[in-house]
């Protein structure tokens, strides 16, 4: 609906538009999915830093498996959970490139826990973007290691119970303990202010990689409105009320 009558809509007045690093493919994510915002922020950071030609992304298995369809950079698909291991290989062979892995909680905190922890412990000079929505979104909303106590999912319809299902895994806190990590933070993308903060965190992580400081981990507490069976706006509210209590936002380590 381009309003040709409105005089404000002119190229010289443009202050915000889609990043040029983003391709024109329509994202497959559900309406209101946090993945779309995080993909966009990575694209904006890559554009701002002018590193489109030298950035290599490692795509995960999960909802973000098609990330290579959306960002116009080099990508390598990894098998489930192995993105940090693949990122290690790519970064060691091509040390002048910027390498980041993009993973969800099922990928990074469940099947890929070993790769995640050892890559961070070795202090691999990579950026790990971790999108945590507390659920296995792609396969139909099953319980993940990060599912909150009492939270319902398709495999715990009466709520997660710690005595039976274990406790939610705060893997970002774990990673902050390791000497190999240099920057560990937890952010969110539910409001415009938090989106801008997350963008700053991503920028710092990529700057750290330029300085060979070690692993940077950016956790983004995210929503899965389809898996949580809520509207996107309700999901954001639910996240603020429940997820942030268990996964408090802020920097855990910044060296």
Partner 1 sequence: MRNIDKIVNDMAKARGAVVVDSVICKGCGLCVEACPTNTLQLAAEVNDKGYNYSYMAAPELCIGCANCGAVCPDSCIAVYRAKA
Only segment of 35-43, 61-69, 112-120, 243-251 that touches partner 1 (CB under 8 A) = 35-43
Pairing of strands 181-188, 250-254: antiparallel
> Residue 189 interacts with partner 1 (CB under 8 A)?
yes
CA distance 189 to 33: 10
Nearer to partner 1, 34 or 146 (CB): 34
Determine the size of the site formed for partner 1 (CB under 8 A). 39
Tokens describing residue 245: 């209590």
> Residue 241 interacts with partner 1 (CB under 8 A)?
no
Q: Which residues share a beta bridge with 156? A: 153
Site string for partner 1, 218-237 (x = CB under 8 A): -------x-----xxx--x-
> Residue 216 interacts with partner 1 (CB under 8 A)?
no
| Euclidean distance between the first and the last CA atom of the chain, given in angstroms as a whole number | 47
> Residue 149 interacts with partner 1 (CB under 8 A)?
no
> Residue 245 interacts with partner 1 (CB under 8 A)?
no
> Residue 195 interacts with partner 1 (CB under 8 A)?
yes
Nearer to partner 1, 19 or 209 (CB): 19
> Residue 93 interacts with partner 1 (CB under 8 A)?
no
Please calculate the CA angle 29-85-45 and round it to the nearest 5 degrees. 50
- What is the number of alpha carbons within 13 Å of residue 60 lying toward its C-beta? 26
- Residue 183 CB, shortest distance to partner 1, in Å, is 22
> Residue 132 interacts with partner 1 (CB under 8 A)?
no
> Residue 9 interacts with partner 1 (CB under 8 A)?
yes
Q: Which residues share a beta bridge with 102? A: 129
CA distance 27 to 173: 31
Tokens describing residue 185: 């933070």
Nearer to partner 1, 36 or 180 (CB): 36
Site string for partner 1, 39-78 (x = CB under 8 A): -x--------------------------------------
H or E element in which residue 39 lies: helix 34-49
Dihedral sign of CA atoms 69, 72, 75, 80 in order:
negative
Rg of the chain in Å (alpha carbons): 18
> Residue 8 interacts with partner 1 (CB under 8 A)?
yes
Q: How far is CA 73 from the centre of its chain?
A: 17
Interacting residue with partner 1 among 50, 163, 192, 241 (CB under 8 A): 192
> Residue 27 interacts with partner 1 (CB under 8 A)?
yes
> Residue 13 interacts with partner 1 (CB under 8 A)?
yes
- Residue 95 CB, shortest distance to partner 1, in Å, is 32
H or E element in which residue 99 lies: strand 98-104
Q: Give helix 83-93 / helix 113-122 axis angle, nearest 10°.
A: 30
Q: Which residues bind partner 1 (CB under 8 A)?
A: 1-3, 6-10, 13-19, 22, 26-27, 29-37, 40, 189-192, 195-196, 225, 231-233, 236
């Amino acid at each position: 609906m381009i309003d040709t009558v409105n005089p404000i809509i002119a190229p010289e007045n443009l202050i915000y538009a889609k990043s040029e690093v983003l391709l024109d493919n329509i994202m497959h994510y559900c309406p209101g999915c946090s993945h779309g915002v995080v993909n966009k922020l990575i694209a904006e950071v890559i554009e701002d830093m002018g590193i489109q030609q030298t950035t290599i992304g490692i795509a995960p298995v999960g909802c973000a498996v098609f990330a290579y369809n959306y960002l116009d950079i080099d990508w390598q698909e990894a098998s489930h959970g192995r993105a940090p291991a693949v990122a290690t290989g790519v970064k060691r062979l091509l040390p002048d490139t910027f390498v980041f892995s993009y993973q969800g909680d099922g990928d990074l905190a469940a099947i890929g826990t070993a790769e995640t922890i050892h890559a961070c412990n070795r202090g691999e000079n990579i950026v790990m973007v971790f999108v945590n929505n507390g659920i296995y979104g792609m396969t139909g909303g099953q319980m993940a290691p990060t599912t909150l106590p009492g939270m319902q999912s398709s495999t715990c319809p009466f709520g997660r119970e710690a005595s039976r299902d274990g406790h939610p895994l705060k893997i970002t806190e774990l990673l902050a303990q390791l000497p190999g990590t240099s920057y560990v933070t937890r952010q969110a993308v539910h409001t415009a202010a938090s989106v801008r903060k997350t963008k700053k965190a991503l920028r710092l992580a990529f700057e750290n990689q330029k300085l060979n400081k070690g692993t940077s981990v950016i956790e983004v507490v995210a929503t899965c409105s389809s898996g949580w069976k809520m509207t996107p706006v309700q999901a954001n509210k639910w996240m603020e009320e429940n997820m942030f209590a268990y996964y408090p936002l802020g920097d855990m380590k910044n060296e």
